[in-house]
Amino acid sequence: MAHHTSFFGLALVAALAFAGMQTGARAQSPAERARPMTIITSSPPGGGYDAYSRLLSRYMPRYLAGHPTIIVQNMPGGAGIRAANYLYNIAPKDGSTFALLDRAVSTAPLLYGDESKAQFEATRFNWIGSVMRENGMTVLATGAPVNSIEDARRQEVIVGSTGPEQDTSMYPRLLNELLGTKFKVIFGYAGQPEIFQAVERGELHGLFMSGWSGNGRAYVRERMSRGQMKLLLQISATGDPQHKDTPTIVEMVTRPEDREIVDLLLSRLSLGRPFMAPPGVPPDRVAELRKAFRQAIEDPELRAEAAQQRLAIDPIWGEEAQEIISRAYRADPALLKRTRDIVRVAP
């Protein structure tokens, strides 16, 4: 059984934050731009975030001045909070370092406040774009004791997650509140591959996949073809057209006041796989990163490689991503309070 994720090391971020803020926000020279760059990814190797990070690291250099090598640095911990705190407070602010962070991290302060251990303002990140507008999916082992949401109202269903503030923990709590289900979340797993392994061992009944676009989707579909996995619910407004028989959360949640909460959370989910740079990066450098990101995503060779890896591409560009997160933080206070009361982690 997994243990609770430790937030050890976050104090170090706070201690070094002042030093990090001393990093100058000056533009790099052409020679400096040819030096290696870094993509921080908040997940361990092997998951969807890691796969998208490595894909972009191979194609963005084509469209950046100096064609620098881009190195992927995995920085798991605190369910993504560690990497976000590092990017905000310590990472260089010259455009040489940016990150692919778990989408749930961006609204952790909004939904969980001080409980999130966040040391950043999400709206101050420079959003570069997202590779994918995301949908979610509730995936169960075939032997799990439920086949419908109605079953899940009567029978406890044990699902796994990396941390309490993650979408994979939050959506089970949301359904328990809005639909009366009995999901129990065990968190502390290193990443999605470890959760899948726990499902295969019979340690868990399943998981809530907040990212249905990456290699996890291919894994699940392959297991479904063997009769080893099944789908329970889509965390989506429209649903995956390949799984029309699986109901969506929007279909299940019918009260208008509940739909407002679902709509807010689904707008956040649409950020998908978001790349962002620290605050303080010079505007011209942010513009260059956004342009290179867009050119890389539109590169036919990247598209072909993504298809080969079974990684879906449905991008959001930087300005739209920036507006999505800004709009979330401008949400009606009463709506935010009710959402917080539902999704926050029980003491």
Domain boundaries, the chain: 10-133+272-343, 136-267
Here the tokens at position 51 are 């796969």
Residue with tokens 């937030």: 7
Q: What pLDDT, on a 0 to 100 scale, did the predictor assign at position 15?
A: 42
The listed CATH number (3.40.190.10, 3.30.70.3000, 3.30.420.40, 3.40.50.300) that belongs to domain 136-267: 3.40.190.10
Q: What pLDDT, on a 0 to 100 scale, did the predictor assign at position 37?
A: 97
Q: Which amino acid is at 278?
A: P
User: Residue 33 — pLDDT band, cuts 50, 70, 90?
Assistant: low
Q: Backbone phi, then psi, for 25, in 5-degree steps?
A: -100, 40
Q: What pLDDT, on a 0 to 100 scale, did the predictor assign at position 31?
A: 61
User: Residue 165 — pLDDT band, cuts 50, 70, 90?
Assistant: low
Contact 196, 99 (CB under 8 A): no
Residue bearing the bigger pLDDT, 134 or 109? 109
Q: What pLDDT, on a 0 to 100 scale, did the predictor assign at position 19?
A: 41
pLDDT in tens, 166-205: 788 889 999 999 999 999 999 889 888 899 999 999 999 9
Here the tokens at position 146 are 């439920």
Mapped onto helix, strand or coil, the DSSP state of residue 85 is helix
User: Residue 32 — pLDDT band, cuts 50, 70, 90?
Assistant: low
In the predicted model, what is the mean pLDDT of the chain? 87
Residue bearing the bigger pLDDT, 218 or 322? 322
Please give the Cα distance from 52 to 35 (Å, whole number). 22
Does pLDDT of 271 surpass 90?
no
Distances from the Cα of 103 to the Cα of 17, 79, 127, 304, angstroms = 23, 11, 12, 25
Query: C-alpha dihedral over 302, 304, 306, 311, to 10 degrees?
Result: 140
User: Residue 77 — pLDDT band, cuts 50, 70, 90?
Assistant: confident
Q: What is the mean pLDDT of residues 6-23?
A: 42
Residue bearing the bigger pLDDT, 18 or 37? 37
Determine if residue 313 is left, alpha or beta; phi over 0 gives left, psi from -120 to 50 gives alpha, anything else beta: beta
For the stretch 95-117, what's the b/e string if a residue is b when 16 or more beta carbons lie within 10 angstroms of its beta carbon? bbbbbbbbbbbbbbbbbbeeebb
Here the tokens at position 58 are 């191979």
Q: What pLDDT, on a 0 to 100 scale, did the predictor assign at position 347?
A: 53
User: Residue 214 — pLDDT band, cuts 50, 70, 90?
Assistant: low
Does pLDDT of 5 surpass 60?
no
Lowest mean pLDDT among 55-59, 126-130, 234-238, 303-307: 234-238
Please give the Cα distance from 222 to 220 (Å, whole number). 5
Here the tokens at position 86 are 């590092």
Does pLDDT of 3 surpass 50?
no
Contact 238, 248 (CB under 8 A): yes
Any idea what DSSP says for residue 126? E
Asked if the domains 10-133+272-343 and 136-267 are classified in one and the same CATH topology, the answer is yes
Does pLDDT of 16 surpass 50?
no
The model carries a pTM of 0.72
Please give the Cα distance from 128 to 276 (Å, whole number). 5
Q: What pLDDT, on a 0 to 100 scale, did the predictor assign at position 23?
A: 42
Q: Which amino acid is at 225?
A: S
Q: What is the mean pLDDT of residues 118-133?
A: 93
Q: What is the mean pLDDT of residues 294-308?
A: 97
**Topology given in CATH for the domain delimited by 10-133+272-343:** D-Maltodextrin-Binding Protein; domain 2 (3.40.190)
Q: What pLDDT, on a 0 to 100 scale, did the predictor assign at position 6?
A: 41
Please give the Cα distance from 259 to 171 (Å, whole number). 14
